[in-house]
Chains A and B, each alone.
Chain A
Amino acid sequence: AAGVIQSPRHLIKEKRETATLKCYPIPRHDTVYWYQQGPGQDPQFLISFYEKMQSDKGSIPDRFSAQQFSDYHSELNMSSLELGDSALYFCASSFGVAGGYEQYFGPGTRLTVT
């Protein structure tokens, strides 16, 4: 079965650079979520989109922005990178927005900021 695809899988950037992470949801899934997991931490919700509109916002820094495109893929744009942005970034997708739908996670993008 098709899964959530994230690219790139690994990314190394320097401080103050920008980064773009991409997420391709499971086919027919209309909702995308972004989470950030720091080393040894639990995943923290950043932002979500339903039918190409932002649906919920968590602890996403102002330096980050995201959008969902017409083909339902999503991109997380990160500017002025800081050392503290080094983390595993997960994208998850679900079909529908009611609370009961499972969120299926992608393999994650490991971002290292040096």
Chain B
Amino acid sequence: AQKVTQAQTEISVVEKEDVTLDCVYETRDTTYYLFWYKQPPSGELVFLIRRNSFDEQNEISGRYSWNFQKSTSSFNFTITASQVVDSAVYFCALRPNYGGSQGNLIFGKGTKLSVKP
């Protein structure tokens, strides 16, 4: 079964705190792709990062960083020095790559992050 679990439904932090959003996935595929999307209150889905299953190197982009660990099937997302503009729902998504099929995205339930001033 293909599944993404985001156990944290809601997180509330104060500005400048660091926060980590957890993502655990399940897949039988050896090749797959993981994504994070941000959905601000305005509703659009903003692409943040893609990681393929062969690349376990962690990535940092400004205040954002991602920790991919195949051993624990996790792809966690950390925001350093959070800001009010980071308030949004964050979705982790899995895209299998079975046999070259046009795999759709399988989303987790999302984590609602509220950053208070």
Q: Given contacts A42-B91, A42-B107, A42-B110, is CB(A98)–CB(B100) below 8 Å?
A: yes
Q: Given contacts A43-B91, A100-B33, is CB(A56)–CB(B107) below 8 Å?
A: no
Count the B residues whose beta carbon is within 8 Å of the partner chain — how many? 27
Residue B116 interfacial (CB < 8 Å): no
Cβ B103 vs Cβ A108 within 8 A: no
Residue A50 interfacial (CB < 8 Å): yes
Cβ B102 vs Cβ A105 within 8 A: no
Contact for A88 among B37, B43, B102, B109, CB less than 8 A = B43
Complex alpha-carbon distance, A102 and B45, angstroms: 12
Residue A112 interfacial (CB < 8 Å): no
Report which residue of B95, B96, B102, B110 has the largest number of chain A beta carbons within 10 angstroms of its beta carbon.
B102
Q: Interface on A for B, CB 8 Å cutoff?
A: 31, 33, 35, 41-45, 48, 50, 55-56, 58, 88, 90, 92, 97-100, 102-108, 110
